[in-house]
Structure 1
Amino acid sequence: MLAIALSALAMTLIVGVRYLLTSGAFALVTSRVRPGLYDGLAPQMRREVMWSLTSAAIYGVPAGLVAWGWQNRGWTLIYTDVHAHPLWYLPVSVFAYLFAHDTWFYWNHRWLHRPGPFRRAHAVHHASRPPTAWAAMSFHPWEALTGAVVIPSLVFAIPIHVGALAVVLTVMTVMGVTNHMGWDAFPRWLVHGRSGAWLITASHHQRHHAEYRCNYGLYFRFWDRLCGTDKGLGSFGDTHISVGLPDRRDRSRID
């Protein structure tokens, strides 16, 4: 039990430090590239950091348990020998994880926008108005729990090389931060080109924070397009309104 607890603590520290370094780096870039963008948002950003570090602990516990089980009991399908599966399987496994995570996120996100779950949990995330580079993990604990179980569950179902898993976690971290920065860090040709038509970008996710009932995806626009919830790219001025929970007009749009 002590070893499991230490593993959970170690993973919590890793997730927390990863969040601070990644969000901090992109916040620094924002201050240089878009000076003044976060002016007046210091109280909001402190709340985002507080909620995010709480989320880090919630993400760290199942990750630590799975890491211990992998190293000591061989519970998972994580492998270290790159030749255990064909080399073409490496990118396939990365895509499989991202698509599975995106699928869970989309449908769970739509459920979180029902009035009850929104008021009890998801409103914490939408209190970031406009979202900043610190908002990527700013979740109520109940919402954080729904996200924390996804990757730890997938390692029991889909074989993945430890290096490919690191790629998945890197993509998850970077896209989580960049989609909330309030400006597009990716080049215009990607955001407005053919790739951008299928990938979630900051301008796409910004529209979700402005209108609530659209653009629910995490990595890909597949489910939004299939289900008719994709409303395209948004304007970065849309969410520059008073900080706080949605007013009555906003709440009519959360389900």
Structure 2
Amino acid sequence: MIYFLQISDFKTFALTTLVILVIVVVRYFVAAGIFHLIFYQNRSKKWQGRKVNQQPYKKGQFQREIKWSIAASLIFAIAGTLTIWLWQNGYTRIYEGFDWTDIWYMPVSLVMAMFLHETYYYWVHKGMHHPKVFKHVHKIHHESLISSPWTAFSFHPLEAILEAIILPIILIVLPMHPIVILMHLVIMTISSVINHLDVEIYPRNFENHWLGKWIIGATHHSLHHKDFNTNYGLYFTFWDKWMTTENLNFGRLFRQKSR
């Protein structure tokens, strides 16, 4: 959180947005860049064999993704500034005190926030695939038929707005500590990059592990970019499993790529 700026006019709103924009863009470039260097510049047979799609990327794809990602980052920054304004004016349930007797609540609130985010995202994501909506909102993201680390934030501005509004809504209804909010944002960024990596980093048999079977990775989300009509989840697979929208080829493909 940005404590030193009291948002009271357009100037402080714009300055706060600029500060958050720099943070979001740096976070995006660091996360996507590190994964790009590790897995795309690494020529070892191990990681090449774990690449879900072996076809080459379209010319200029990374540059296009970065362009849209920076535009989306501006919207995320505006949403972040709006969230700070809501907090400063008492409209959120963000709390700053730290009581060791209540330390159990911090991980609980993180799980609750991620569950709410997952539920919101699944149904909004599925809605964005409606033919009348897709071409206006979600098509930009799916121009990356083979995803990359740079695809993580590559959204049309309308989709970026839909992505951004959920966190302020969660903070209006769910008490969360700033440390937990920061953890949520970090998880959100890293998981998005991993899911779009198109290189399966999770170990063999992870799709059958008691925890792993509920976690989305590169193979799972790569199938969504290929067929559009399955695997709508964000962090977890439970909505796809419950609504029978999980791709039936996932297990086979995961076993093939995680050997």
TM-score (norm: length of structure 2): 0.84
1:63-97 alpha-carbon deviations (Å, 9 max, x no partner): 11222443x43432112222187221111100011
- Give the number of aligned pairs: 235
Q: Relative to structure 2, which stretch is displaced further, 80-89 or 45-54?
A: 80-89
| 2:4 alignment counterpart | none
| 1:250 alignment counterpart | none
Does residue 182 (structure 1) correspond to residue 187 (structure 2)? The answer is no
CA contact (8 A) 2:62 2:150 kept: yes
Q: Relative to structure 2, which stretch is displaced further, 88-97 or 60-69?
A: 60-69
CA contact (8 A) 1:7 1:65 kept: no
Alpha-carbon offset, residue 206 of structure 1: 1.1
Match among 25, 45, 53 for residue 34 of structure 2: 25
Alpha-carbon offset, residue 7 of structure 1: 1.1
CA contact (8 A) 2:57 2:146 kept: no
| 1:151 alignment counterpart | 167
Structure 1: tracts of 5 or more residues without a match: 237-255
Inter-partner Cα distance in structure 2 for 1:144 and 1:165: 19
1:23-46 alpha-carbon deviations (Å, 9 max, x no partner): 111111112254696855450011
| 1:119 alignment counterpart | 135
CA contact (8 A) 1:55 1:137 kept: yes
Please show how residues 59-78 of structure 1 align to structure 2 within 5 Å: 59-70=76-87, 72-78=88-94
Inter-partner Cα distance in structure 1 for 2:192 and 2:178: 21
| 1:87 alignment counterpart | 103
Inter-partner Cα distance in structure 2 for 1:85 and 1:131: 44
Does residue 198 (structure 1) correspond to residue 214 (structure 2)? The answer is yes
| 2:184 alignment counterpart | 168
Does residue 44 (structure 1) correspond to residue 61 (structure 2)? The answer is yes
Inter-partner Cα distance in structure 1 for 2:36 and 2:58: 12
Structure 2: tracts of 5 or more residues without a match: 1-8, 255-259
CA contact (8 A) 1:7 1:67 kept: no
Inter-partner Cα distance in structure 2 for 1:64 and 1:191: 38
Aligned AA (1:162): P
Aligned AA (1:90): M
Q: Which has the higher helix share?
A: 2
CA contact (8 A) 1:38 1:132 kept: no
- Percent identity (aligned): 35
